A and B are shown apart, each in its own frame.
Chain A
Amino acid sequence: MEKLKKITSYRLFLPLLCLAIVLMINIITTPTFFQISVKNGVLYGYIIDVINRASELVILAVGMTLVVSSSAGTDISVGAVMAVAGAVCCFVLAGGQQAVNAYSNPYILGFLAALVVGVICGCFNGFLVAKMKIQPMVATLILFTAGRGIAQLVTKGQITYIRVDSFKLLGANIPGLPLPTPIFIAIAVVIITVIILKKTALGMYIQSVGINSRASRLVGLKSTMIIFLTYAFCGLCAGIAGMIATSRIYSADANNIGLNMELDAILAVALGGNSLGGGKFSLMGSVIGAYTIQALTTTLYAMSVSADQIPVYKAIVVIVIVALQSPEFAKIRKKIAGKFHSEKAESKKEVA
């Protein structure tokens, strides 16, 4: 019993359990789930596909975790920022044309433009949240709705195609490597973030600001700056994710890139055992959460649930997780448990 308690109180218990359940369901419904085949030196298989598709979500979840931790709010504009970043990148590379077969500008310029745009969007959110003290969700709601409008303006309401092979590399396979590129990018983002957080005191600062921003300020931390930085970083993550998503379809589709991603990212953070109330966080939890969600999404697709309908199930999962985390729920649980215990004690007394 003691041991069980120790295992369940382990930080990553919940996310790992969820992942295990989803994978189990998959194995039962699709026996070939873990099969990996090699074609032309490239690995194929369900599981590879899940990990590949989850890349954007992992990157977003990393940024979102920091935002949630520092400001106790979520950035709901990430999906829209992805669309803006993708649109700007294609705009730069296509030189304002609708479809091109060769770059109008060097690739690196488009890539940097996307990242810069992501950071700018993040800075805008960060400015509103940290400096103007506006609730994070209202502040990010502005870009959530306006972002796709901006992306539409950039692409002039049409889908910009870039039919250049090297553009597809980011979203597909680099020749010679056995795994799709997005997987490497996601891993790189996670590792770099972990190194930054662990090797500097930044991770500690973010948590302390999230737990009590006033106290942190009194201790000498620049709370405003730290919150601002987390939003800017989240914007950068959205920019990178937007680039991958754009590269996958080698076009900028302002309406569909990053659609419903904000919910997935929040879900990943919550599923990772992080409190949406801010404070302590576990980056690994969020990453596992992100893979779990992608596995879940793939499972739902396999069960022929359409993309439009999936949010229903995810919404329910979000509410359940958040409800389970809430202190009010813990109180109710204690009350019931207390009742149960006292009844037990009473019955014991009667026996005696």
Chain B
Amino acid sequence: MGNKKMKSKKNIDGNAFLLLITIVLFFAMYIIGVIAFHQQGFGKTQNFLNLFISNAGLIVIAAGMTVVMITGGIDISVGSVVALTCMMLAWMMENKGMGAIPAAVIVLVMGLVFGFVQGWLVAYLKLQPFIVTLAGMFFARGMTAIISQDMISIKNEMFLSWAKYKIYLPFGGYVNRKGVMIYPYIYPSVIIALLVLVVVFIMLKYTKFGRSIYAVGGNEQSALLMGLNVRKTKLKAYILAGFLTGLGGFLFCLNTCSGFVEQAKGFEMDAIASAVIGGTLLTGGVGNVFGSLFGVLIKGTIEAFITFQGTLSSWWTKITIAALLCFFIILQSIFASAKAKKKK
């Protein structure tokens, strides 16, 4: 009995506590939103689903970011890669007359290759992940400008049909003024995003690869002594993240249906912040993709606040996210130092 009690106490350590804070914070913010913006319909089911619709790409990218961050690395190139993805999609379909399917495949492969190169540099040449992905960030943004300096809008019918295909949910509807029942809807991108989330979650939790990612991030030296191939694991993590960034960029593009140089600027911040807010440790070894989902949802809620409020400028989103990130990394740091003291 006493043993069990101790165990359950041990389970709620700093990291789980951080995740708990995040989940509570999200619900608290949402409830505040519902109360404050009651008249504008903040509490509608559709509004909640919009959080997923507008952030489908970010959910996928944050999942990839979480994987990389668990290995102890980081990827700050994602924002630029998203811009590159959108630009490539737009350019291939509009200027080269490619079909939507081959364009999508090429973009995904591009993400994979990008992840491979960065992963190789990090894992095999042991360069600092930050420097590598910082260069990657400028490289991808520059490539976007090389492809086209002007904005390209996507008019490909197939692509637009993907983007506009509404899936109505059979519940949560309301009756509008004309007496017609209106059901809330989602786009296919949301389903893809959630599917990816579940797959990555299962992979991290139940496969050998997933466990070795945690092992490498927890303590590289130990993992090496245990006989894990640290380099290969890291490389694979970056490849996976690269692929997910490509996919996330594709989903992002379904929302914007255009490609331009300044697109998705500061996106890397959103992804990193989502992961950190969701309880992923910057030092590696700890993290959970569902935590990152809540991180994304918090970011979405802040954006929704600003939209509903109407008078605040959009920079507030960035500043708030940065402040939140700052708050959470300081919390992490405090927990870490408390833990270190305990050990002594």
Contact = CB atoms under 8 A, between A and B. Distances in A.
A138 B329 contact: yes
A315 B135 contact: yes
A318 interface: yes
Contacts of A142: 322, 325-326
A347 interface: no
Nearest to A72: B128
A135 interface: yes
A311 B142 contact: yes
A126 to B, nearest CB: 14
Contacts of B131: 74, 266, 276, 318-319, 322
Contact of B282 (A135, A313, A319): A135
Interface in A44-71: none
Interface stretch (B9-17, B101-109, B311-319): B311-319
Contacts of A128: 326, 329-330
B127 interface: yes
A216 interface: no
A293 interface: no
Given A132-B333, A157-B313, A308 B126 contact: no
A: interface residue count bin: 35 or more
Contacts of B121: 319, 323
A73 interface: yes
Interface in B108-130: 121, 124-128, 130
Nearest to A133: B333
A181 B254 CA distance: 50
B5 to A, nearest CB: 33
Interface stretch (B47-55, B60-68, B143-151, B237-245): B143-151
Contact of B138 (A74, A143, A263): A263
B229 interface: no
Interface in A150-197: 150, 152-153, 157
A107 B323 CA distance: 32
B313 A306 contact: no
Nearest to A143: B322
Contacts of B76: 137, 141
A311 B312 CA distance: 33
B141 interface: yes
Contacts of B136: 315
B186 interface: no
Interface in A297-320: 306, 308-316, 318-319
Contacts of B135: 263, 315-316, 318-319, 322
Nearest to B313: A157
B130 A73 contact: yes
Interface string B312-342: 0101101101110110011001001100000
A312 B323 contact: no
A33 B121 CA distance: 37
Nearest to A262: B134
Given A146-B322, A276-B131, A310-B142, A153 B315 contact: yes
A312 B124 CA distance: 23
Interface string A67-95: 00000011010000000000000000000
Given A137-B74, A319-B121, A153 B138 contact: no
Nearest to A316: B139
Given A145-B269, A319-B135, A328 B74 contact: no
Nearest to A152: B315
Given A145-B269, A149-B315, A308-B142, 14 more contacts: A133-B333, A137-B130, A138-B282, A141-B268, A144-B269, A146-B321, A146-B323, A149-B318, A149-B319, A157-B313, A309-B146, A319-B127, A322-B131, A323-B127
Interface of B: 74, 76, 121, 124-128, 130-132, 134-139, 141-146, 149, 261, 266, 268-269, 272, 282, 313, 315-316, 318-319, 321-323, 325-326, 329-330, 333, 336-337
**Nearest 7 CB-CB pairs, A to B?**
A312-B142, A308-B145, A146-B322, A149-B315, A311-B138, A315-B139, A311-B142
13 contacts: A128-B330, A132-B330, A133-B336, A137-B74, A141-B76, A146-B318, A153-B319, A308-B149, A309-B145, A313-B142, A315-B136, A315-B138, A319-B131
